[in-house]
Structure 1
Amino acid sequence: MKRHRRRGCDDLAELARNILKGKDRLHEAVGRAAGGLLGLLGRPRIERVFAQELARRIPLPVDAKLSAAARGLQIAGLYVCIIGSRDLADCACLRDVLRVEGQERLQGLIQGAMEDWRGLPRRMHDVVTDS
C-alpha cells in the first residue's frame, strides 16, 4: 500500500511537470513525423530538418488546454501550501511557476484562479440543477 506523502504540493507539482513534458514530447513527435514524411518522399536532408523544426514549433490545438491544466494544478498546489502553513520556499509549485512564468505572471495567474474559484460554487449549483 502506498502511503500518501504529506509534503505540500509535491504530487501536484510532479503531475503538472509531467503534463508539460508530455506537451513537449507531442511537439517532438509531430516534428519527427514531418521530417520522416519528407524523408520518405526523398527530399534533401536540409528540407527534412527545416520541416522537422518548423512542425515542432507550430502551436497545436491542445497546447493551451494542457498548459492551463498544468498551471491550474500548480496554483492549486500553491493554495495547498498556503492553507497548510508551509514554508513557501519549500513549495514545489511556487518554484516551478516562478521559474517558468516569473513573479509578475504568477500574480496574474493567482488573481485569475481566485476569480475562477469565486465562481465555482455557482457553477457547481448550475451543474447540479441541470442534471
Structure 2
Amino acid sequence: MARHRTRGCADIARLARSILNGKDQLHAAVGRFAAGFFAALGRPRIERVFAQELASRIPLPIDAQLTAAARGLQIAGIYTCLVNGHPLADCACLHDVLTTEGKERLHQLVRGATGDWQNLPYGVGGGVAI
C-alpha cells in the first residue's frame, strides 16, 4: 500500500482500517472455532477445513454496523481533506475507499453521507440552528 502524508485524514484512515481488520479477525476466529468443534467431534480434516471456511464467511450480526462505522469515518476523512484544502491525491481515506469499494460505491457513500449531514445542527457541519 502506498504511503500517504501524515496530514489530513491519515489517523482517521488508520482507525477505519482497524475496524475493518477487526471484523476480518472476528470472522477468522469464528472459523477457527467451527474447525475446533468439528475436531472435537472427531470429524475428518476435510470436514474441519470446510467448516472453517464456511463459518468464516457467514455474515455476523455486527458486520453491517462495523462496516458502516468504518465507511462513515472514511467519508468524514475525505471531507476533512476537502475542507482543509489538502490534495485529494494524498487523501488516505479516499484511497482506501476507492481501493476496496470502487468509484461507484464511493459516489453512493458520499450521497448517503450528504443526506445524513444535512440533518446535523448548525455549526456541526450543516443543518439549521437549534
Tell me if TM exceeds 0.5: yes
* Alpha-carbon RMSD: 1.6
- The CA deviation string for residues 51-87 of structure 1, in whole angstroms up to 9 with x for no partner, is 0000000000000000000000000000000000000
- The equivalent residue for 1:28 is 28
Please give the secondary structure, in 1, of the residue aligned with 2:120: helix
Separation in 2, partners of 1:106, 1:36: 39
Pick closer, same or farther for the CA change 1:52–1:6 going to 2, 3 Å.
closer
Please give the secondary structure, in 2, of the residue aligned with 1:59: coil
- The equivalent residue for 1:19 is 19
Tell me the CA shift for residue 119 of structure 1.
1.2
- The equivalent residue for 2:128 is none
- The equivalent residue for 1:103 is 103
In the TM superposition, 1:1-131 aligns within 5 A as 7-121=7-121
Tell me the CA shift for residue 121 of structure 1.
2.2
Give the share of equivalent positions with the same residue, in percent.
66
Q: Which runs of 5+ in 1 are unaligned?
A: 125-131
Separation in 2, partners of 1:93, 1:53: 30
- The CA deviation string for residues 88-109 of structure 1, in whole angstroms up to 9 with x for no partner, is 0000000000001111110110
TM-score (structure 1 length as normaliser): 0.87
Tell me the CA shift for residue 6 of structure 1.
6.6
Q: Which runs of 5+ in 2 are unaligned?
A: 125-130
Separation in 2, partners of 1:54, 1:34: 9
Q: Which structure is higher in helix share?
A: 1
- The CA deviation string for residues 104-123 of structure 1, in whole angstroms up to 9 with x for no partner, is 1101100100100101229x
Please give the secondary structure, in 2, of the residue aligned with 1:60: coil
* Bigger mean CA deviation after superposition, 99-108 or 27-36: 99-108
